[in-house]
Amino acid sequence: MLESLQRLGRKGLAFFQRLGRGHILLWDILAGLSSLLPRPHLVIVQVYSVGVLSLLIILVSGLFVGMVLGLQGYNTLVNFGAEESLGTVVALSLVRELGPVVTALLFAGRAGSALTAEIGLMKATEQLSAMEMMAVDPVKRTLAPRFMAGFISMPLLAAIFSAVGVLGGYFVGVGLLGVDEGAYWSQMQDNVDIYDDIQNGVIKSLVFGFVVSWIAIFEGYDCIPTSEGVSRATTRTVVHSALAILGLDFILTALMFGD
Amino acid sequence: MTDNDTSLVQIRDLHFSRGNHMIFDGVDLEIRRGRITAIMGPSGTGKTTLLRLIGGQLKPQTGSVVVDGEEVNTLRLGPLYQLRKRMGMLFQNGALLTDMNVFDNIAYPLREHTRMSESLIRTLVLMKLEAVGLRGARNLMPSELSGGMARRVALARAIALDPMMMMYDEPFTGQDPISMGVLVRLIRTLNDALGLTSIIVSHDIAETCAIADDIYLLSGGKVVAHGTAEELDHSDSAWAQQFLKGEPDGPVPFHYPAPDYFDDLMSMQEAGR
């Protein structure tokens, strides 16, 4: 009994210590962002590896999600004779929810895990330590550009995901199922609001980009510097990011569309 | 002459522990300028930890570490980074940045800390590479280097900013005899040619004794012996004798602490296991 209480206490303490270290690291990263201003190429290189290299998975997934939305939306709407509204259904589902959420989940799996593994291995092979000894702050030189790149890339990837998804819905709805082309686009134009829908979607993707980059970088930086430690940290990045994305999505949706 | 003139690093009453495990229990050390000082001891005595304490990557619980007149453990990050620009460190596996080639690795500290032109950086990098004999390997990636070459590249990078002091973390471990000989000679010649002060952490006795001016033997969190290689050879410390001669049994027992052998065997039989 006493032992299990002790174990619980130790786990609780370890949890809060990690939480504290995570916040201290986030603070250091945010404080280090200003040092990137004179050296934008550090961020650009990372935008390439975090963002551009994630494009393929985002494009393909966006296309299929849009096509599925087109098919499912049509099958339901046609019962009410409302298949003309397919454009609205596809666009709103993508811009408000699926775009930011699915992109963030894919981003965590593709880019987040890569970030964690890269930083974890840099730690395990003493590269971060060597930077410190060369009087180069690894948080400013290595972590801050990666964080910034994740934060910038996520909303762009989500926008691309939604755009490709709308096209996927168009191919299925208009191309295969015979929805009127003019109705598909005009209904979309009428019913998607720049503030209520698009802006809220962008806010979501910014929040997810922030959180996923933070989790991925922290897990890499805080990992036990062995192969097992790095592999565990990589798994944790994906699991924690997915949970954080879905939890935050509910909170953000409630705040944005709750009334 | 004051202490500060003759010694570059002074460590006083150093206590450091990780969790419940005591690593240093009152260590006093002095690293004299212009010399090669070796710190030796069995694995797990905290030799690498000592280098990290000197470099300010770890903070001692009590005691002080003074490098070139500055107390490392109380320095703020800015001055600490300024001090580190004057320290070079060679890590056990080289710790080269794996996303850059050899040239860019050595140019890295120059590009980070100076505003030199690329042509000047090129000249300096080639000079450092020439010093370690790897000018021809400038375009190789770290993954294409052998262990010995990686260490020499890392050495060239560590001296890129012309430090006042070099720290070597197990420089000879896992090297073939030729690269070992190369490294031994490099450490000595660089120390004398560049007017460095060197600290070598190692347990390769023959190689280290061959170039070290001063040797500290560490064990159990304390300095157990100190002197030149010759003095230690004649030391009356049984521990030092066992370590230097590599005897399997002595003050450091062959057996890990265990209950009595006979009792242990019998108790297993009784338990039927």
Chain B nearest-CA distance from A124, in A, is 9
Q: With a CB-CB cutoff of 8 Å, which residues 135-194 of chain A face chain B? A: 135-137, 141
Please tell me what DSSP assigns to residue B256.
Answer: P
Cα gap B38→B155, rounded to integer Å: 17
pLDDT digits (tens, 9 = 90+) for B100-110: 999 999 999 99
List the one residue out of B194, B33, B162 whose CA is nearest residue B86: B162
Q: Residue B141 and residue B93: Cα distance in Å, rounded?
A: 15
- The reply to whether residue A136 touches residue B109, judged by beta carbons under 8 angstroms, is yes
Query: Of B88, B95, B108, which has the smallest distance from its Cβ to A125's Cβ?
Result: B95
Please report which confidence band the pLDDT of residue B268 belongs to, taking 50, 70 and 90 as the band edges. Answer: low
Q: Are B93 and A126 an interchain contact pair (Cβ–Cβ within 8 Å)?
A: yes
Segment B196-202 shows an average pLDDT of 92
Q: Contact at 8 Å (CB) between B71 and B54?
A: no
pTM as predicted: 0.88
From B255, B254, B251, select the one nearest B238 (Cα to Cα): B251
- Residue A150 — pLDDT band, cuts 50, 70, 90? very high
Please report the pLDDT score of residue B120 as a whole number: 95
A136 with B85: Cβ contact below 8 A: no
Nearest neighbour of A129 by CB, restricted to B77, B85, B91: B91
Instruction: Give chain B positions within 8 Å (CB) of A122.
Output: 98
CA distance B167 to chain A (A): 10
Query: Is A134 within 8 Å of B82 when comparing Cβ atoms?
Result: no
| In the predicted structure, residue B114 carries a pLDDT above the cut 70 | yes
The two beta strands, B165-169 and B87-90, are parallel
- What is the residue extent of each domain of chain A? 2-257
Q: Over 90: is that where the pLDDT of A251 sits?
A: yes
| ipTM of this complex prediction, to 2 decimal places | 0.84
Distance between CA B7 and CA B32 in Å, rounded? Answer: 4
CA atoms within 13 A on the CB side of B6: 4
The answer on pLDDT for B270 being more than 70 is: no
pLDDT in tens, B72-95: 988 898 899 999 999 999 998 889
pLDDT value of residue B108 = 94
